[in-house]
Amino acid sequence: PLVLGIETSCDETGIGIVRGSILLSNTIASSMDEHARYGGVVPEVAARAHLEELVPAIRAATAEAGIRLDEIDAVAVTCGPGLAGALMVGVGAAKALAISLGKPIYAVNHLVGHVGADVLRLDTDDTTEPLEYPTIALLVSGGHTSLLLVRDLVSDVELLGETIDDAAGEAFDKVARLLGLPYPGGPQIDRAALEGNPTAIRFPRGLSQTKDMEKHRYDFSFSGLKTSVARWVEQKRDAGEPVPVPDVAASFRESVVDILLTKAIAACVDLGVPRLLLGGGVIANARLRQVAQERTDAAGIALRIPPLSLCTDNGAMIAALGAQLIMAGHEPSSLEFGADSTLPVSDIQV
């Protein structure tokens, strides 16, 4: 099926068009620059930007795919989780489009969409083997840090754990800010860390003590780490000593990478699932990808990382999930659905 996907859960206005698993276009307009001076995504600003960007993005996506809007078989849209106001803009647009074209609509889960990105192929000659199930998925971005057990993409996704405070990307952004680096912080820390020593400072690994293991085995925590970095930097400044930014960046990054991968690989081993899929904007982190490869190789786990343009928020992954639901024979969503900022991951389609 030819499916148009709409993604507006955070600061990316994403429109994607797919034919089955084949990616035809993936248009992304980000309001990231507008949030830079606030040091994080401002919900109201994001929602307004979606309203302005949606129609041009739809036009650009259909032009790039070489199709007319009335040729699509269905509309897919992110209805949660995410920022309520931002989601509402996409949901409203998707409903209007579906009604005016007389096409079915599929309201889908954003996090499951990140997993769905893996099915996309750039062309029909791409012979990458389809992902096997079950698989463990680690999704890390500015808004989420979640570990999922995916038994089946369209029918069985379970949340194993998630962050109990900040998301990993948020931690990168906050630590960058206290080091005086601009937003978004992830790429800045990655760059500064190149000249730093990752073992210079031993920052804490949240929720990895034996006492945490019973209740929070697969959960994450980054706020203690952030506080620990803040205190370390403060002490240096109080002592009138220069802050070794590259060492702090490298040591902080090492801690985040260790926390994320220790938990993800523990889930694979505990549950006997020899497959790990990564997704979300933090996957852009060079060290995270490197250590993920090393540790999965050592543990005999197959590692999957979709292209980066499909790891950050985008409409193509939403279209892909919609197409998978259609091909599995799922009924369209009824038009009465709304935006649900806390939609649980087990609700793959609403």
The annotation places the binding site at 110, 114, 139-143, 173, 186, 190, 285, 313
Of 176 and 325, CB closest to ligand ATP: 176
Give the range of 152-160, 200-208, 257-265, 278-286 binding ligand ATP by CB under 6 A: 278-286
Q: Beta partners for 105?
A: 75
CB 136 within 8 A of CB 148: yes
Alpha-carbon gap, residue 149 to 95, rounded angstroms: 31
For the CB of residue 7, give the shortest distance to ligand ATP in the complex, in Å: 9
Quick one: which segment of 14-22, 155-163, 206-214, 281-289 binds ligand ATP (CB under 6 A)? 281-289
C-alpha–C-alpha distance, residues 189 and 252, integer Å: 9
> What H or E segment, with its residue span, contains residue 213?
helix 213-216
Binding region for Fe ion (CB under 5 A): 141, 313
The residue among 288 and 326 lying less far from ligand ATP, judged by its C-beta, is 288
Q: Residue 168 CB: number of other CB atoms within 10 A?
A: 28
x/- binding map, residues 138-167, to ligand ATP, per CB under 6 A? Answer: ---xxxx-----------------------
Q: Which residues, 6+ apart, have CB-to-CB distance to 259 below 8 Å?
A: 205, 206, 207, 208, 220, 222, 225
Bridge partners, residue 322, by sequence: none
For residues 107 and 337, is the Cβ–Cβ distance under 8 A? yes
Binding region for ligand ATP (CB under 6 A) out of 130-138, 185-193, 244-252, 292-300: 185-193
Q: Which positions from 288 to 327 touch ligand ATP by CB under 6 A, shown as an x/- string?
A: ------------------------xx--------------
Minimal distance in Å, beta carbon 48 to ligand ATP?
A: 16
Q: Is 117 in the site for ligand ATP (CB under 6 A)?
A: no
Q: Is 284 in the site for ligand ATP (CB under 6 A)?
A: yes
CA atoms within 13 A on the CB side of 204: 17
C-beta closer to ligand ATP: residue 35 or 295: 35
CB 116 within 8 A of CB 130: no
**Residues, the chain:** 350
